[in-house]
Amino acid sequence: MTGMNDRAMTETGKPLLRVLQGEAVWPPPLWLMRQAGRYLPEFRALRDKADFITRCMTPDLATEITLQPIRRYAMDGAILFSDILILPWAMGQSLDFVQGTGPVLGAIRSEADLARLDPRRVADATAPVMETLSRLRATLDGPDPIGAAQGGKVALLGFAGAPFTVACYMVEGHGSRDFEATRGMAYANPMLFDRLMDMLTRATADMLCAQIDAGAEAVMLFDSWAGLLPPAQFRRHVIAPTRAIVQEIQTRRPGIPVIGFPRLAGIMAAEYARDTGVKTMALDTGTDMAAMAGLVPDLPLQGNLDPLLLLAGGDAMAAEARSIRDAMKGRPHVFNLGHGVVPPTPPEHVGELVRIVREG
């Protein structure tokens, strides 16, 4: 009785959302992590107008930057232009993006440092981000005066850093190869570290619900440094908080898919997939997509072309892109990279990749 209706609804739905709900779509929908960014001349032109946080917090600019790759490449997903470190900034931690160095924050090392953060500030401080999302959704689903709607087929993605990865930057105060201060605190002062993680877990769930209310149709949790942790710590600081956030979203905003990205998790990725409740797993470059599909047959997978192949372009990129795409044929798969687009990537290579993935 409902069969026809269901099919009619899914076939007219957004391809990316259909895959996140578990449907195999061919050719697979695609978007790229860091698809808006320094490799695009139109992004660099806007970059000179305002610093990074101002760009994130000005709906005109953040909306425009989010839509740049959609206009150019007709991606299936538009990911909000913002950053995972906007959450600690909104709680009151100092944050600066220093050219050539990356983010610099006032490091959290003591109870007193933690006490200066206030999660109650987040809703007001991130109001411009929510405004950006509602404008984006209206543009993507509306008539098409600026060429970004693509027939209403583009899904809007919100995101946050997962608590462990955000804690890495908050405690260390800057990027790092191994985040020694952070991982050291987790062992030496677990009470303090757990309080920070609890604060982040709650604030992240609240912020993602707000993003959904503003128009995000799916959300992604970036856990870029998950792979630094040994198994027991991985369960405690990656799987447990991710599960708490996913459950909170499922309860408060049922039906909205969460994509999880536990980068460099290795063999722990299978446990993450089973135990967190994420609707889709984003795989890093080092993970064999077909092998992961064998371990979690029902879960949609996203990924995982090496961003350096996108930089290189040519036949090597084409062959590997086809190989990833074809290995996932008949399964729910969102084509993406295994990590973000690197700044020197020629924009033509992105166009070529999109053409190859869509040739079917």
Our answer to whether residue 83 is catalytic in this structure is yes
226 touches ligand CP3 by CB under 6 A? no
Structural tokens at position 346: 């020629």
Site of tokens 């447990």: 240
280 near 331, Cβ under 8 Å?
no
340 touches ligand CP3 by CB under 6 A? yes
- What region, left, alpha or beta, does residue 330 occupy, with left being phi > 0 and alpha being psi -120 to 50 degrees? left
34 touches ligand CP3 by CB under 6 A? yes
61 near 50, Cβ under 8 Å?
yes
Exactly one of 135, 169, 243, 263 is catalytic; name it: 169
Shortest Cβ 340–ligand CP3 spacing (Å)? 5
351 touches ligand CP3 by CB under 6 A? no
Residue range at the interface with ligand CP3 (CB under 6 A); choices 80-88, 124-132, 135-143, 300-308: 80-88
Q: Which is nearer to ligand CP3, 226 or 249 (CB)?
A: 226
Shortest Cβ 332–ligand CP3 spacing (Å)? 21
Task: Tell me the backbone φ, ψ of residue 280, rounded to 5 degrees.
Answer: -150, 145
* Binding string, residues 170-199; x marks residues near ligand CP3 by CB under 6 A: -----x------------------------
Shortest Cβ 287–ligand CP3 spacing (Å)? 15
Our answer to whether residue 47 is catalytic in this structure is yes
Exactly one of 76, 83, 206, 223 is catalytic; name it: 83
83 touches ligand CP3 by CB under 6 A? yes
Shortest Cβ 159–ligand CP3 spacing (Å)? 5
Please, what is the end-to-end C-alpha distance for the chain in angstroms? Answer: 32
164 touches ligand CP3 by CB under 6 A? no
Candidate list 84, 117, 203, 228; residue touching ligand CP3; CB under 6 A:
84
Q: What residue number has its CB nearest to ligand CP3?
A: 224
52 touches ligand CP3 by CB under 6 A? yes
Element (H, E) at 304: strand 301-305
Residue range at the interface with ligand CP3 (CB under 6 A); choices 82-90, 206-214, 247-255, 304-312: 82-90
Q: Which is nearer to ligand CP3, 56 or 239 (CB)?
A: 56
Least Cα distance to 340 among 332, 350, 325 occurs for 350
Candidate list 15, 28, 29, 37; residue touching ligand CP3; CB under 6 A:
37
Q: How far apart are CA 214 and CA 136, in angstroms?
A: 9
16 near 336, Cβ under 8 Å?
no
| Alpha helix segments (H runs only) across the chain | 3-12, 15-20, 41-47, 52-57, 59-73, 86-90, 111-115, 122-125, 127-141, 163-172, 180-188, 190-214, 231-234, 240-252, 268-276, 289-295, 307-312, 314-327, 347-358
313 touches ligand CP3 by CB under 6 A? no
Structural tokens at position 193: 């570290």
Q: Which is nearer to ligand CP3, 33 or 331 (CB)?
A: 33
Burial class (CB in 10 A: 0-12, 13-18, 19+), 2: exposed
Candidate list 68, 132, 224, 276; residue touching ligand CP3; CB under 6 A:
224
Shortest Cβ 294–ligand CP3 spacing (Å)? 26
Residue range at the interface with ligand CP3 (CB under 6 A); choices 8-16, 19-27, 30-38, 321-329: 30-38
Site of tokens 């077909």: 290
Least Cα distance to 321 among 355, 296, 287, 283 occurs for 355
Our answer to whether residue 236 is catalytic in this structure is no
Residues 94-133 that bind ligand CP3 (CB under 6 A): 97, 102-103
Give, as one character, the DSSP assignment of residue 32: -
The residues that touch ligand CP3, with contacts defined as CB under 6 A, are: 33-38, 47, 52, 79, 81-85, 97, 102-103, 159, 175, 222, 224, 340
Residues designated catalytic: 34, 38, 47, 83, 169
